[in-house]
Amino acid sequence: MKQGSIMNGKSEKAEYGLFKVIVKIIPIQVRSAPWNCLLENCLGVMHGLLFALSVVATQYLFDAVSDAAAGRAGYRECVICLAVLAAVIFGQQIVNGVQNFHGMGILLPKSAGGLTELIHKKIERIAPVRFEDTGFLDDLNKAKEGIRAITMFCMVLFVCVSFYGVYFTAIGIYLFRLKPMLLLTLLLAFIPAMLAQTVKVRIFVNLEEESAPLRRECDYYQKAICDREYFKETRILGAFTFFYQLFEDTMKGLSGKIWRTERKAALLQLMLDFTTFAGMAASAYMLFAATMEGEITVGMFAAVFAALTQIFAIMQEVVRQHMGNMNKDIGKVVNFLRLLDMPERTGAEGEPDFTKGITAENISFRYPGRDTPSIKNVSLHIADGETIAIVGENGAGKSTLVRLLTGIYRPTEGRVLVGGLDTARYSASSVWKGMSGVFQKYQRYKMTLKENVTISDTAAEAKPDRIRAVLEEAGFERDNIGLEDMLSPEYGGVDISGGQWQRVAIARGLYRVNGFIVLDEPTSAIDPVEETKIYKQFAHLAEGKCALIVTHRIGSVKLADRIIVMDAGKIVDIGTHDELTARSGQYAKMWEAQAQWYERM
Ligand code: ATP
Span 390-410, pLDDT tens digits: 998 888 999 899 989 988 889
Mean model confidence pLDDT for the chain: 82
Q: Are residues 590 and 566 in the same domain?
A: yes
Using the predicted structure, report yes or no on whether residue 465 has a pLDDT greater than 90: no
Q: Are residues 425 and 479 in the same domain?
A: no
What total of structural domains would you count in the chain?
3
pLDDT of residue 4: 33
What lies within 8 Å, CB to CB, of 594 at 6+ separation is 553, 554, 555
Residues within 6 Å of ligand 1 by CB: 132, 367, 370, 374, 392, 394-400
Q: Are residues 257 and 172 in the same domain?
A: yes
Nearest-CA residue for ligand 1 atom 1 is: 394
The backbone region for 584, taken as left when phi is positive above 0, alpha when psi lies in -120 to 50, beta otherwise, is: left
Asked, for residue 582, whether it belongs to a domain, the answer is: yes
pLDDT of residue 87: 95
pLDDT of residue 3: 35
Name the β-bridge partners of 438: 519
Percent of the chain with pLDDT over 90: 18
The Cα-based distances of 561 to 50, 147, 348 in angstroms read: 82, 51, 33
- State in Å: Cα 137 to ligand 1 middle: 19
- State in Å: Cα 341 to ligand 1 middle: 30
Which of 374, 398, 567, 590 has most ligand 1 atoms within 8 Å of its beta carbon, as the pocket-test mutant? Answer: 374
Query: CA 446 to CA 437: how far, in whole Å?
Result: 20
Encode pLDDT of 296-313 as tens digits. Answer: 787 778 877 777 777 767
- Residue 590: pLDDT band (50, 70, 90) is confident
Nearest-CA residue for ligand 1 atom 20 is: 395
- State in Å: Cα 395 to ligand 1 middle: 5
Query: CA 430 to CA 446: how far, in whole Å?
Result: 29
Using only the alpha carbons of the chain, give its radius of gyration: 34
- Residue 74: pLDDT band (50, 70, 90) is confident
Asked, for residue 527, whether it belongs to a domain, the answer is: yes
Nearest-CA residue for ligand 1 atom 18 is: 395
Q: Are residues 278 and 305 in the same domain?
A: yes
> Is the CB of residue 38 less than 8 Å from the CB of residue 102?
no
Among 391, 388, 404, smallest CA distance to 567 is for 391
- State in Å: Cα 131 to ligand 1 middle: 14
Which of 363, 365, 376, 399 has most ligand 1 atoms within 8 Å of its beta carbon, as the pocket-test mutant? Answer: 399
Among 289, 68, 23, smallest CA distance to 179 is for 289
Nearest-CA residue for ligand 1 atom 29 is: 367
For residue 573, give the 3-state DSSP assignment.
strand
Nearest-CA residue for ligand 1 atom 4 is: 394
Query: CA 173 to CA 55: how far, in whole Å?
Result: 12
Q: What is the CATH number of the domain that holds 127?
A: 1.20.1560.10
- Residue 462: pLDDT band (50, 70, 90) is low
Nearest-CA residue for ligand 1 atom 16 is: 374
- 537, 540, 544, 546 alpha-carbon torsion, rounded to 10°: 30
Q: Are residues 508 and 522 in the same domain?
A: no
Mean pLDDT of 333-355: 85
Using the predicted structure, report yes or no on whether residue 359 has a pLDDT greater than 90: yes
pLDDT of residue 236: 72
Q: Are residues 208 and 133 in the same domain?
A: yes
- State in Å: Cα 130 to ligand 1 middle: 15
Asked, for residue 180, whether it belongs to a domain, the answer is: yes
Among 408, 442, 436, smallest CA distance to 423 is for 408
Encode pLDDT of 86-108 as tens digits. Answer: 999 999 999 989 988 998 899 98
What lies within 8 Å, CB to CB, of 559 at 6+ separation is 387, 389, 535, 536, 539
Nearest-CA residue for ligand 1 atom 14 is: 397
Angle at which helices 18-32 and 34-69 cross, to 10°: 110
More confident residue, 329 or 151: 151
- State in Å: Cα 366 to ligand 1 middle: 10
Encode pLDDT of 246-264 as tens digits. Answer: 999 999 999 998 898 888 8
Mean pLDDT of 482-494: 83
Extended beta strands in 366-426, E state: 375-382, 387-392, 413-418, 421-422
Mean pLDDT of 498-505: 84
Using the predicted structure, report yes or no on whether residue 5 has a pLDDT greater than 50: no
Q: What residue spans of 159-239 are helical by DSSP H?
A: 165-178, 180-226, 228-236
Using the predicted structure, report yes or no on whether residue 214 has a pLDDT greater than 80: yes
Asked, for residue 2, whether it belongs to a domain, the answer is: no
- State in Å: Cα 550 to ligand 1 middle: 13
Asked, for residue 59, whether it belongs to a domain, the answer is: yes
Nearest-CA residue for ligand 1 atom 27 is: 132
Q: Are residues 488 and 400 in the same domain?
A: no
Report which residue type is found at 343.
Answer: P
Asked, for residue 8, whether it belongs to a domain, the answer is: no
The Cα-based distances of 265 to 18, 201, 202, 258 in angstroms read: 17, 10, 11, 11
Mean pLDDT of 40-44: 94
Residue-number span of the structural domain to which 44 is assigned: 13-341
Query: CA 488 to CA 402: how far, in whole Å?
Result: 30
- State in Å: Cα 378 to ligand 1 middle: 16
pLDDT of residue 328: 67
Domain end position, chosen among 341, 375, 396: 341
What lies within 8 Å, CB to CB, of 152 at 6+ separation is 108, 325, 329
Query: CA 415 to CA 361: how far, in whole Å?
Result: 5
Using the predicted structure, report yes or no on whether residue 323 has a pLDDT greater than 70: no
Asked, for residue 249, whether it belongs to a domain, the answer is: yes
Encode pLDDT of 411-459 as tens digits. Answer: 999 999 999 999 989 988 888 888 888 877 778 888 889 888 888 876 6
Query: CA 391 to CA 553: how far, in whole Å?
Result: 8
Report which residue type is found at 71.
Answer: G
Name the β-bridge partners of 547: 387, 517
- Residue 152: pLDDT band (50, 70, 90) is confident
pTM (2 decimals)? 0.64
Domain end position, chosen among 496, 513, 530: 513
The Cα-based distances of 298 to 213, 221, 305 in angstroms read: 60, 67, 10
Q: Are residues 328 and 352 in the same domain?
A: no
Domain end position, chosen among 296, 314, 341: 341
pLDDT of residue 320: 62
Nearest-CA residue for ligand 1 atom 9 is: 397
More confident residue, 316 or 482: 482
- State in Å: Cα 445 to ligand 1 middle: 25
Q: Are residues 229 and 263 in the same domain?
A: yes
Q: From the CB of residue 458, how many other CB atoms can be counted at a distance below 10 Å?
A: 7
Extended beta strands in 383-487, E state: 387-392, 413-418, 421-422, 435-438
- State in Å: Cα 363 to ligand 1 middle: 16
Taking the mean position of all CA atoms in its chain, how far away is CA 222? Answer: 20
Which ligand 1 atom is nearest residue 520's CA? 7
Query: CA 158 to CA 161: how far, in whole Å?
Result: 5
Query: DSSP letters along 246-260, please?
Result: HHHHHHHHHHHHHHH
Which ligand 1 atom is nearest residue 566's CA? 6
Using the predicted structure, report yes or no on whether residue 322 has a pLDDT greater than 80: no
Q: What is the CATH number of the domain that holds 362?
A: 3.40.50.300
Among 549, 502, 517, smallest CA distance to 398 is for 549
Name the β-bridge partners of 516: 435, 546
Using the predicted structure, report yes or no on whether residue 38 has a pLDDT greater than 60: yes
Which of 6, 363, 398 has most ligand 1 atoms within 8 Å of its beta carbon, as the pocket-test mutant? Answer: 398
Asked, for residue 576, whether it belongs to a domain, the answer is: yes
- Would strands 387-392 and 562-567 be described as parallel, antiparallel, or unpaired? parallel
Q: Are residues 113 and 97 in the same domain?
A: yes
Mean pLDDT of 362-389: 90
Which ligand 1 atom is nearest residue 400's CA? 11
Q: Are residues 123 and 185 in the same domain?
A: yes
The Cα-based distances of 353 to 383, 388, 410, 429, 543 in angstroms read: 12, 18, 19, 14, 16
- Residue 140: pLDDT band (50, 70, 90) is confident
Which of 400, 402, 564 has most ligand 1 atoms within 8 Å of its beta carbon, as the pocket-test mutant? Answer: 400
Q: From the CB of residue 232, how many other CB atoms can be counted at a distance below 10 Å?
A: 9
Which ligand 1 atom is nearest residue 396's CA? 6
Q: Are residues 192 and 297 in the same domain?
A: yes
Mean pLDDT of 9-16: 48
Report which residue type is found at 336.
Answer: F
Taking the mean position of all CA atoms in its chain, how far away is CA 208? Answer: 15
